[in-house]
Chains A and B, each alone.
Chain A
Amino acid sequence: MGMVVNSSGREELFIEAAAAMLDIIFVSPPKGKGRKIRVSLEGSDLTDLMVRWLGEILYLLQGEGLVVTDIEIEDLTSVRLRATAHAVPFEAGIHEIRHEIKAVTYHQSLVSSDIESWKTRIIFDM
């Protein structure tokens, strides 16, 4: 399963891609501010950064049991991302899973832009 996300800006693309992934995972993604988590990533380009970024959000769920509910991007270049994520604890009885995403793959991954918009294509291991 994969997703294509379009956005008006580069920072927005990263925020909306994260939201789209959580929409795939959850029947109804949880809301709320929760605890703050600092995310700091480096990559070889924007596509690499996007895979790492979504992978980080997925790890917070799989490894730490935290569901990201809100994101503030503080710094985004073509090779670096700094953000603060807000997250609430995952509760199996409350947060119903729609699809399990096991990993964010690099397969056919892409971040591109034209004059008006930004776009990413990501394929997930389900």
Chain B
Amino acid sequence: MEIKLKRIDKCRWLVPKTGAMRVPGLIFSNDELIKMLQSDQSLVQVSNVAALPGIVGHSLAMPDIHWGYGFPIGGVAAFDTEEGIISPGGVGYDINCGCRLMTTLLTEEDVRPRIKELVSALFANIPTGVGSTGTIRLTKAEETKVASEGAAWAVKKGFGSLEDLDRTEDGGLLEGSDPSVLSERAIKRGSDQLGTLGSGNHFLEIQTVEHIYDSDIASAFGLFKGQVTILIHSGSRGFGHQICDDFLKEMNAYVSKNSIRLPDRQLACAPLKSPLGRRYFAAMACAANYAWANRQILMHWTRETLLNVLSIAPREMGMRLLYDVCHNIAKIENHPLEGKTVRLCVHRKGATRSLPAGHPLLPAVYRDWGQPVLIPGDMGTSSYVMAGNKGAVTGSFCSSCHGAGRVLSRTQAIKMAKGRAIDRELEAKGIYVHSRGRSTLKEEMPEAYKDVSQVVQVVHDAGLARKVALLKPMGVIKG
């Protein structure tokens, strides 16, 4: 199926409404990135999503869009809460996979000489890898509290402070969770994975601020050149995967029973207002809350590890949470549409919320500056801190990109990396990496990803978020 694109301006392409599409598609991109989409099926996926019941506005794709299961990764789709659907495939398996950035008062000079020791200690203290389990064992009763309370559960248990909640999207709690809808399998898989990083593209990275683009916002965010920051990328682990899996099966049965025709079974969905749609939302919220608690705990252990290795006082290190954002989620939000404010169910699958300055959902500390938008690149290049901008309100249901976006599949990356020692290549660039998986470093090598600088520039030029700071990796742990 060939998708014809119509260029609108420097960074937007329209996918005109054809066939079963209920709305047009809209791609944020540039001349180089848009060419990469010709070789995968992500544009077809944008048009497939545009055909789902109740979709409004456009089926959106951020500049890091790439092929996903059913929905593209980097896709944003908003559905009417009365007539529209909710889809587990539109959220993804790793519900509330997301990023958390911590700032410190340390500089590169403080940390660079100890980087190998720090990375080794973090690798020893933070469980990583396939099916990794942590030191926390949850009873069913305690796990339901995690699912209902989110990051606040972790703070109550001594992992961090109340200030952290203010600096977490939605305060680290998605309302509407109901642990009674969870399967025994989900409960079981969640019982021993809290406080674990996971595998694949999940990581913990020690970085330094290399460049400041907007000094006022950077200052408000507590960022300065040469500063050491730490970025964590993790999600809801096997708990979220099991929930997605459970509901995909149920929704496929629903779709089959109701003779609903879909171009791909992974697009299985149910009306948001139906009992099944409501149950999925309640279960998904449990996983979102689990993920926020997970990243809160990972941050606490990172802080402890750095204090121990560097033998300094907490005040000297000055670690603070800058912000925590989710990438895979469906949320009920208010957005302007055709001159009215409407309540929508916004699916972000590989996309980040981006609220501009003055938005009522922002905490006071960021209200004058916009929401911090955290964009990890690959482990060999850089990551960005951005701030939500006004263009996102009318252009993208307050959404931005979530990373660089893959350009090679994992299989292609492994083939390309054959015979290479990715860890040694990175070390030659001053980046010390520790990984558990047999092929993780090859799958995640820098060439497997698009150029994050181009992705971020599109977002900046489109007015979805503005560039604030560039972060360079010094040390990375991966699963």
Which residues of A line the B interface, CB within 8 A? Answer: 1, 27, 44-45, 47-48, 51-52, 55, 59, 62-63, 96-100, 102-103, 105-109, 123, 125-126
Contact = CB atoms under 8 A, between A and B. Distances in A.
B420 interface: no
Nearest to B185: A63
Given A45-B256, A106-B264, A126-B443, 18 more contacts: A1-B411, A44-B256, A47-B265, A48-B253, A52-B249, A59-B185, A96-B438, A97-B130, A99-B439, A100-B131, A102-B200, A103-B93, A105-B69, A106-B69, A106-B252, A106-B266, A107-B69, A125-B241
13 contacts: A1-B410, A44-B252, A62-B238, A97-B437, A98-B439, A103-B93, A105-B266, A106-B70, A107-B70, A107-B265, A126-B200, A126-B410, A126-B443
| Interface-central residue, B188, B199, B245, by most chain A CB under 10 Å | B245
B333 to A, nearest CB: 27
B255 to A, nearest CB: 8
B78 interface: no
Contacts of B256: 44-45, 48
A126 B185 CA distance: 20
Given A44-B256, A55-B245, A125-B93, A98 B438 contact: yes
Interface residues of B, number: 35
Interface string B414-434: 000000000000000000000
A1 B200 CA distance: 13
Contacts, number: 80
Contacts of A100: 130-131, 199-200, 437
| Interface-central residue, A27, A48, A96, A125, by most chain B CB under 10 Å | A125
Contacts of A97: 130, 437-438
Contacts of A126: 200, 410, 443
Interface in B435-450: 437-439, 443
Contact of B245 (A27, A45, A103): A103
A64 to B, nearest CB: 8
**Main SS of the interface on chain A?**
loop
A54 to B, nearest CB: 11
A3 to B, nearest CB: 11
B189 interface: yes
Contacts of A44: 252-253, 256-257
B264 A103 contact: no
Contacts of B18: none
A17 B281 CA distance: 32
B192 to A, nearest CB: 11
B242 A106 contact: no
Given A44-B253, A48-B252, A103-B241, A108 B264 contact: yes
B409 interface: yes
Interface string B78-109: 00000000000100011000000000000000
A125 B438 contact: no
B268 A102 contact: no
Contacts of A123: 69
A97 to B, nearest CB: 5
In the A-B complex, the 3 residue pairs with the closest CB atoms: A106-B265, A44-B256, A107-B69
B286 interface: no
B306 interface: no
| Interface-central residue, B130, B199, B253, by most chain A CB under 10 Å | B130
Contacts of B437: 97, 100
Contacts of B410: 1, 99, 126
Contacts of A105: 69-70, 266
Contacts of B189: 62-63
B244 interface: yes
B228 interface: no
Contacts of B464: none
B248 interface: yes
B280 to A, nearest CB: 15
A34 B188 CA distance: 22
Contacts of B185: 59, 63
Contacts of A63: 185, 188-189, 238, 242
